[in-house]
């Protein structure tokens, strides 16, 4: 690869192949933090797909700070993701937390997500590297760029070349207004260090839906290959990450604004 060029990860979905990396318009992943029930996941899939998203995201297994918080519906949520995939034609991106669950997650997922908290779970990295679904590797909340790239290297070294790097915000000193600090400088930095495609998650990156549009636009301006955006049909009632979730209407409006940036480029 030439300096500054990214590789492409081509992902087969029911609606056809979707490419992440080195193309415009960029690919958008959208959906709720957690899969809550069939109606909400199917409705969200249809709405985000109609707005222009290529992938539905949604957690079946959720890495929660408190053991008493909603942990995700697990295996039954995987079935609901399969139903949403069927109904919408979108590709599915969902997180695997445990090596024991990988096989059943990979059966439903078109892209397997490794969450920030598991970025250096080396046995999990080796295992997703030894299967053939593409892997979305989120940056650990306190991970350096070198640690993140070495985590990706575990997956590549195990034989899976299809890795996408997702920046989702890091811990800094002030969390009064934003949950994390979205490190958009990684975009130009990564372009000098790796050919792997980049995704930016402004939802976890800010923790507030009000800040998501500005950071999504900034990410495109800085050259991201893709975006991940949390969308919930009723954010006030969400079982996780409601405050950072756009409604389907707000997501639709945002994609229209992003398309304007696209045409201007």
Name the residues that contact Mn ion, by CB under 5 A: 33, 241
| Residue 171 found at the interface with ligand PEP (CB under 6 A) | no
Least distance CB 156 / ligand PEP (angstroms): 20
Least distance CB 83 / Mn ion (angstroms): 21
The conformation of residue 99, written as its DSSP 8-state character, comes to: G
Work out the end-to-end distance of the chain between its first and last CA atoms, rounded to an integer number of angstroms: 23
Q: Name which of 22 and 64 has its Cβ closer to ligand PEP.
A: 64
Number of residues counted as binding ligand PEP (CB under 6 A)? 9
Quick one: which segment of 47-55, 80-88, 100-108, 110-118 binds ligand PEP (CB under 6 A)? 110-118
The entry of ligand PEP, Mn ion, none that residue 63 binds, CB within 5 to 8 Å by partner kind? ligand PEP
C-alpha–C-alpha distance, residues 64 and 74, integer Å = 13
Residue 181 near residue 169 (C-beta atoms within 8 A) = yes
The DSSP code sequence of 168-195 is --B--S--SS-SSB--TTHHHHHHHH--
The conformation of residue 59, written as its DSSP 8-state character, comes to: B
Type and span of the H or E element at 11: strand 9-13
| Residue 72 found at the interface with ligand PEP (CB under 6 A) | no
Q: Name which of 129 and 202 has its Cβ closer to Mn ion.
A: 202
Among 9, 18, 102, 116, binds ligand PEP (CB under 6 A): 116
Least distance CB 62 / ligand PEP (angstroms): 7
The entry of Mn ion, ligand PEP, none that residue 92 binds, CB within 5 to 8 Å by partner kind? none
Phi, psi of 13 (to 5 degrees): -130, 170
The entry of ligand PEP, Mn ion, none that residue 115 binds, CB within 5 to 8 Å by partner kind? ligand PEP
| Residue 168 found at the interface with ligand PEP (CB under 6 A) | yes
Residue 76 near residue 68 (C-beta atoms within 8 A) = no
| Residue 85 found at the interface with ligand PEP (CB under 6 A) | no
Among 29, 33, 184, 196, binds ligand PEP (CB under 6 A): 33
* Omega before residue 102 within 30° of 0, cis: no
* Long-range own/partner contacts, residues 121-126 (CB < 8 A, 24 or more apart): 122/154, 123/99, 124/96, 124/97, 124/98, 124/99, 125/151, 125/154, 125/155, 125/158, 126/154, 126/155, 126/158
| Residue 73 found at the interface with ligand PEP (CB under 6 A) | no
The entry of Mn ion, ligand PEP, none that residue 225 binds, CB within 5 to 8 Å by partner kind? none
**Residue 20 structure tokens:** 């992440």
Among 4, 63, 159, 161, binds ligand PEP (CB under 6 A): 63
* Residues of the shown chain interacting with ligand PEP in the complex, contacts defined by CB under 6 A: 33, 59, 63, 115-117, 138, 168, 204
């Amino acid at each position: 690869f030439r300096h500054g060029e990214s590789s492409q990860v081509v992902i087969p979905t029911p609606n056809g192949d979707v490419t992440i990396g080195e193309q415009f318009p960029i690919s958008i992943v959208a959906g709720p933090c957690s899969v809550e029930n069939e109606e909400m996941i199917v409705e969200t899939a249809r709405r985000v797909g109609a707005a222009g998203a290529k992938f539905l995201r949604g957690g079946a297994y959720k890495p929660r700070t408190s053991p008493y918080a909603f942990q995700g519906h697990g295996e039954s949520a995987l079935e609901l993701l399969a139903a949403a995939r069927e109904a919408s034609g979108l590709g599915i991106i969902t997180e695997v937390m445990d090596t024991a669950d990988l096989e059943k997650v990979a059966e439903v997922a078109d892209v397997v997500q490794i969450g920030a908290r598991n970025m250096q779970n080396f046995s999990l990295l080796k295992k997703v590297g030894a299967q053939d679904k593409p892997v979305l590797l989120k940056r650990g909340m306190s991970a350096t760029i070198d640690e993140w790239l070495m985590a990706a290297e575990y997956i590549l070294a195990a034989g899976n070349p299809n890795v996408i790097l997702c920046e989702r915000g890091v811990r800094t000193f002030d969390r009064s207004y934003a949950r994390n600090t979205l490190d958009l400088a990684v975009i130009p930095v990564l372009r000098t260090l790796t050919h792997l495609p980049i995704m930016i998650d402004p939802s976890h990156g800010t923790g507030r839906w009000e800040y998501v549009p500005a950071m999504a636009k900034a990410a495109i301006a800085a050259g991201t290959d893709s975006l991940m955006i949390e969308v919930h049909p009723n954010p006030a009632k969400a079982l996780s990450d409601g405050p950072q979730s756009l409604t389907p209407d707000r997501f639709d409006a945002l994609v229209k604004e992003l398309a304007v940036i696209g045409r201007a480029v």
